[in-house]
Amino acid sequence: MDKPEVVLGVSGGIAAYKACELLRRLTESGHDVRVVPTASALHFIGEATWSALSGHPATTEVWESVHEVPHVRIGQSADLVVIAPATADLLAKAAHGLADDLLTNTLLTARCPVVFAPAMHTEMWEHPATQENVATLRRRGAVVIEPAVGRLTGVDTGKGRLPDPGEIFEVCRRVLARGTAALTADLAGRHVVVSAGGTREPLDPVRFLGNRSTGRQGYALARAAVARGARVTLVSANSELPDPAGADVVRAGTTAQLREAVLKAAADADAVVMAAAVADFRPARYAEGKIKKREGQEPEPLDLVRNPDILAEISAERARSGQIVVGFAAETDDVLANGRAKLARKGCDLLVVNEVGEHKTFGAETNEAVVLGADGTETPVPYGPKGALADTVWDLVVRRLG
Ligand code: CTP
């Protein structure tokens, strides 16, 4: 299969250096990327960096390298154009159809999806001129990612930071994989709860029983739900990942804390997805002081007690009629038979069964699964990014929400 062709437009802002990371992610995941910087972008990152990282010349003007880079063809043949960072000036030019350099010409010739990742000072972002330009671009079908909130170029902080390159990459991946379906807010007006990470059960002030879950799959679910318009509560157990933009993140440490947070958020939720790896057992006793080794003595045996099964509990006592509950399971043998039995035992609507295989490791960016439905359906999800599995889960949830 041909590599998808991506045009990475870079306009002149200090965040241009972050576009190098986006470029690296795009090329490493099998995209053919052509970088089109504006002349002012080259003040921040030079042509040599862009061409070395992309493997193509990076030209700014329509009359440079005309024999190699016909300006009309770059836009025409692209599968995706992403502009990161998009300055206020670039957004204004795009909204008004100006074409005074290669990037703005490319925008006029492109017929593929276009993603803008704006970065600018808060005042510039909030100015009615910028807001109207953004509204115009969105009305025409472009994706304009909301800027992040945080430290800006100088000492000031506020809305206007370029979103994390990983977040921009994820938006690009969704738009390439799903086309305009990636833009439909089919979870708008819905509240969804996602649990992620792994719970930890303390033995004493310094030790715990835990697991290797990093939270990647749950975070991908939260991010995809935000992109589809949902209000998202992410109950995160011991994950070190950055908060997904737009989700309300609630932290939990133990299974008891996770249960409390999930039950509270589920009270008005349309869907609950239990992606967290929940400890099935906890130590029967918590030692207030650190457990010490004693010379010549065998260690005390560790007594464990069962934790409540949160998934079974929320499935049995639906907080809202029509609430959809989704669970996860890892199986090595008899995947489908074991998965079916677990689905029935837990009483949920959908069970994502991870086939534990050679690619599967905790913390990986990828996953492979079958989603079993209580109605007898089976949806295989081929080996691929966790974001793609997340979208398949939400597709199935949306269908059941009616
Ligand atoms: N789960 C839960 N509460 C628990 C244990 C698990 O809500 N105390 C949820 C998990 O979030 C996940 C699913 O139940 O959605 C996993 O179920 P589990 O029975 O733990 O299955 P496996 O992880 O596949 O492990 P095993 O069958 O080996 O016990």
Ligand 1, pocket-test mutation among 280, 310, 331, most atoms within 8 A of CB: 280
> Which numbered atom of ligand 1 lies nearest the CA of 331?
24
Which tens digits make up the pLDDT trace of 274-326? 999 999 999 999 999 999 998 999 988 999 999 999 999 999 999 999 999 99
Which residue ranges form the domains of the chain, and what is each CATH number?
A: 5-183 (3.40.50.1950), 191-401 (3.40.50.10300)
- As for ligand 1, residues whose beta carbon falls within 6 Å of it are 255, 274, 276, 278, 280, 307, 309-311, 327-330
Take atom 3 of ligand 1 and give the residue whose Cα is closest: 309
pLDDT at 67: 64
Q: What is d(CA 35, CA 47) in angstroms, rounded to the nearest whole number?
A: 9
Under 8 Å CB-to-CB from 334, ≥6 apart: which residues? none
Helix or strand holding residue 375 (H, E): none
Which tens digits make up the pLDDT trace of 126-160? 999 999 999 999 999 899 988 988 877 777 788 89
Beta-sheet strands, E only, within 302-391 = 304-306, 324-331, 350-355, 366-373, 378-385
Per-residue DSSP letters for 54-114?
HSS----STTSSTTT--HHHHHHH-SEEEEEEE-HHHHHHHHHT--SSHHHHHHHH--S-E
pLDDT at 68: 60
Q: What is d(CA 261, CA 283) in angstroms, rounded to the nearest whole number?
A: 21
Angle formed at CA 240 by CA 385 and CA 267, multiple of 5 degrees = 85
pLDDT at 258: 98
> Which numbered atom of ligand 1 lies nearest the CA of 351?
15
Take atom 22 of ligand 1 and give the residue whose Cα is closest: 329
CA–centroid distance, 203 to ligand 1, in Å, is 21
Q: Please indicate whether residue 105 is annotated as part of the active site.
A: no
Structure-block tokens of residue 189: 């007006």
Instruction: Enumerate the known binding-site residues for CTP.
Output: 280, 290, 308-311, 328, 342, 346
CA–centroid distance, 322 to ligand 1, in Å, is 23
Give the chain's mean pLDDT. Answer: 92
Ligand 1, pocket-test mutation among 281, 305, 311, most atoms within 8 A of CB: 311
Indicate whether this model's pTM tops 0.75. yes
Take atom 23 of ligand 1 and give the residue whose Cα is closest: 329
Cβ count within 10 A of residue 380: 10
Instruction: Enumerate the known binding-site residues.
Output: 280, 290, 308-311, 328, 342, 346
CA–centroid distance, 278 to ligand 1, in Å, is 6
Please check whether residue 105 is in contact with residue 137, taking contact to mean a CB–CB distance below 8 angstroms. no
Which tens digits make up the pLDDT trace of 75-93? 999 999 999 999 999 999 9
pLDDT at 245: 80
Averaged pLDDT for residues 178-186: 81
Take atom 16 of ligand 1 and give the residue whose Cα is closest: 329
Please check whether residue 28 is in contact with residue 101, taking contact to mean a CB–CB distance below 8 angstroms. no
CA–centroid distance, 311 to ligand 1, in Å, is 8
Confidence of residue 360 (pLDDT cuts 50, 70, 90): low
| Catalytic position from the list 105, 133, 211, 354 | 211
CA–centroid distance, 394 to ligand 1, in Å, is 20
